[in-house]
Amino acid sequence: RHNDSNLLSLGARFLSKELALRAVDLWLRTSFDGGRHERRLKKIKDMEEQA
């Protein structure tokens, strides 16, 4: 929601299959808020382009 991520990491030892599936479903349905968070993403993109 805040960082427009395309990676989700879940701990198999700590989550049941049902809870993991709920977390994935929520993650997939959550859209990027944009707004003030876009500035931080631009900083990251600029650093990636300089590397």
In the residue annotation, 2 being an active-site residue is answered as yes
Dihedral over alpha carbons 8, 9, 12, 14 (to 10 degrees): -100
Catalytic site residue from 2, 22, 43, 45: 2
Distances (CA, A) of 40 to 12, 20, 26, 48: 30, 28, 23, 13
The catalytic residues are 2
